[in-house]
Amino acid sequence: MTFYLPIAEIEINLLIILFFGFIVGFMSGLFGVGGGFLMTPLLIFMGIPPSTAVGTESVQILGSSVSGAIAHGRKKNIDYEIGSFLLIGGIFGSTFGIMIFNFLKESGNIDLIINILYVIFLLVIGILMLIESIFSLVRKPRILKKIYKKKRNFLDYLPFKLRFRQSGIYMSILLPVIVGSFTGFLASLMGVGGGFVMVPAMIYLFRMGTVSAIGTSLFQIVFVTLNVSILQATYNLSVDLILAVFLLIGGVIGAQYGSKYTSKFKGEQIRVFLALIVIIVCIKMGLELINEPPMNSRIIIQDAF
Amino acid sequence: MHFSFIKIIFLFSLFLHSFEIKSNVLIFDVSQKKVSVSSDSEDTHFTIYGFSNSPKNLVLKITGPNQKVVLQKKKKVFGMWTWNKTGEFSYPSLFHYYTNIINNEIDFHVKKDLVDNIKLIGKDDDNLKKELIDKKMSIDLFSIKNESFELLSDGAPLFFRIPIKLPKNSPAGKYLVSMNLMDKGSKFETKKIQIFVEKPGISSFIFEFAHRFSFLYGVFSAMIAIGLGITAGFIFKKN
């Protein structure tokens, strides 16, 4: 079932794409993560050019997050006020990111930047997750009765404060705009949704509830990946629809099976396993950086007329 | 006396003209003007039929639609490999030459023609052009096939046919087919025949759509993803 991917410009077996889509979808369901930060490196390992992997992954994330966002919307888990400011930042950050992407693609350095960003992010996430989950496994379970006292920090002194009624938060609108911009920037350069940055930021910086943070994050991801998908296709010609569709099909089915196995493991065990996968992917990405490419030169088609 | 001189000059020029025509008759045509290049077919795509009264150096040239490309070369930065933009080119996406014989003259003409037709945007650099030609030859989009004429008659006049098979990665669009007759430095070129190459299948459609209507393609891709996502959510919700 070999097929020529028209934008990635390589011939690939579609069953392999379905299989990897399924595997990453399974892990997404099992670990409760988006999967973009695992899928993009995997596509690069399969020989898909990094720029096409990033652009295509945006389309896949859009498809896989839309039904989750609708479901959270129905359950009223989305704070639309905070989500709107995250979205404003996200649109700005992702559009700026696409401009940088375009500049780097023209100069030939986009692959290097994508690989470096992945190595840094995966290393940080993998190590933090591994340390946290190992400590959780080793420590004896304790029931902590912690009286949470809100301490004022520098974030409370930011200007343009607004009361967000649904979440009961009083904070500067700059905070969601900055977080949204950062994740939008990452979405355009790395082909990720950015939930792994946004959800912890919303819980620890905005002090939102976990469910509301996840719902609002998905709301922002849908519109930011929509923006990234259209801009990537328009300016960078880096969206391979055939690849995206097969990844989406494999991913959606895999996620359903993965979520069924979540209850069979302890949370800490799952996190150790995920951390190890992230670190292995990080090492492989690092090797990609130092391994000499087999070809001396390559041709990038810019325009056909 | 004056009239006779003009008459002689006129007759002499007519003789020369007829000699030129007579010595350089080269006629050809293509078996079909609409060609379909599918990824699974191994058959000949079309055939050239021709006639020449002189079995000299004959060259058939096929050029594909124009495209603008960037050539990148690998470069090491702080121990890491990256790509460096070395040139921007505008040229026909496909150059195929078919010759009836192989000799130095024909080889020189063909290679010169290939280099001359590649336009480097900005500063000209023959090394970069050579790099690009090697690269395109490695993926069969540029090729020189010597001794590829199938003769239908012995000696002069020469009736021939040339079976043409385009590579799977040939872009769709308008192609130009022409023939050259080369003889001791002089070159006679026929008029160009236009053929249209189409590539059936979803890959070709996606490529054309993405390159010609990028914005619409982006919107279409996003709509497909949203549609699939909602459908999947609906199916698994029911299950």
| Helices A195-204/A174-190 angle, 10° precision | 160
- Checking ipTM against 0.90, whether it exceeds it is no
* A124 sits in which H/E element: helix A110-138
The beta-carbon neighbor of A60 closest among B65, B72, B225 is: B225
Q: With an 8 Å Cβ cutoff, are A297 and B74 in contact?
A: yes
Confidence of residue B12 (pLDDT cuts 50, 70, 90): very low
Range from B13-27, B52-66, B84-98 carrying the lowest mean pLDDT = B13-27
Q: Are B68 and B88 in contact (CB under 8 A)?
A: yes
- Please give the C-alpha separations between residue B146 and each of B26, B98, B185, B189, in angstroms, as whole numbers: 18, 6, 19, 18
Q: With an 8 Å Cβ cutoff, are B67 and A7 in contact?
A: no
Q: Please compute, for residue B224, the number of CA atoms within 13 A of its CA located in the half-sphere on the CB side.
A: 23
Note the pLDDT tens digit of each residue in B164-221: 988 888 888 899 999 988 777 677 778 889 999 887 788 888 888 998 899 999 999 9
- Amino acid B185: pLDDT: 67
Q: With an 8 Å Cβ cutoff, are A6 and B131 in contact?
A: no
Q: CA of A103 to nearest chain B CA: how many angstroms apart?
A: 12
Q: CA of B238 to nearest chain A CA: how many angstroms apart?
A: 12
The Cα A184–Cα A190 span in angstroms is 10
- Taking CB atoms and an 8 Å cutoff, what residues of chain A touch B80? 112, 115-116, 289-290
Instruction: Count how many pairs of residues, chain A against chain B, have C-beta atoms within 8 Å.
Output: 183
Residue B202 CB: number of other CB atoms within 10 A?
12
Q: With an 8 Å Cβ cutoff, are A301 and B69 in contact?
A: yes
Q: With an 8 Å Cβ cutoff, are B211 and A303 in contact?
A: yes
**Could you tell me the pTM of the whole model?**
0.77
Q: Report the DSSP pairing between strands B173-183 and B119-121.
A: unpaired
Q: CA of A143 to nearest chain B CA: how many angstroms apart?
A: 36
B183 closest CA partner among B105, B116, B117, B111: B105
The beta-carbon neighbor of B73 closest among A62, A237, A297 is: A297
Mean pLDDT of chain B: 80
A281 closest CA partner among A10, A14, A33: A33
Task: Give the residues of chain A that fall short of pLDDT 70.
Answer: 32, 140-152, 302-305
Q: Please compute, for residue A178, the number of CA atoms within 13 A of its CA located in the half-sphere on the CB side.
A: 12
Confidence of residue B17 (pLDDT cuts 50, 70, 90): very low
Q: Is pLDDT above 60 for B19?
A: no
- Amino acid B171: pLDDT: 83
- Amino acid B218: pLDDT: 96
The beta-carbon neighbor of A4 closest among B39, B82, B214 is: B39
The Cα A240–Cα A19 span in angstroms is 17
Locate the chain B residue with the closest alpha carbon to A65: B229
The Cα A216–Cα A195 span in angstroms is 10
